[in-house]
Amino acid sequence: AQKITQTQPGMFVQEKEAVTLDCTYDTSDPSYGLFWYKQPSSGEMIFLIYQGSYDQQNATEGRYSLNFQKARKSANLVISASQLGDSAMYFCAMMNSGGYQKVTFGTGTKLQVIP
């Protein structure tokens, strides 16, 4: 069974500062994918970034980077230069190998960016 843990129910960050959202996972499958989604109050789940279990380098997408530490089973999201529009719920998620298997979501972290 796979499990995702997000221990920060809510976070505050000052505009233009960087923030790290924590995510740890547990799986016995050697092949898996880790992602982060952003969900604004409008409801849409916006795909942010993906890290494969065999990827050697940490994933980056613009202001988003994923700090992947395989031995510690952590996949933290780093948002640099926070913007007011970054205020949203952030979900860490995992899917095991196969591509069409079940995605396991964490409980989410609500990020609020303060002007």
Q: How many residues belong to the site for other proteins (CB under 8 A)?
A: 22
Q: Which 32-71 residues touch other proteins, going by CB under 8 A?
A: 32-33, 35, 37, 42-47, 50, 52
Alpha-carbon distance of 86 to 67, in angstroms, equals 18
Contact status: 7 vs other proteins (CB under 8 A): no
Alpha-carbon distance of 110 to 115, in angstroms, equals 16
Output 12 or 54, the one with its CB closest to other proteins.
54
Q: Looking up tokens 């997408």, which residue turns up?
A: 61
Contact status: 95 vs other proteins (CB under 8 A): yes
Give which of 41, 17, 6, 7 is closest to 114, Cα–Cα.
Answer: 17
Footprint on this chain of other proteins (rule: CB under 8 A): 32-33, 35, 37, 42-47, 50, 52, 91, 95, 99-100, 102-103, 105-108
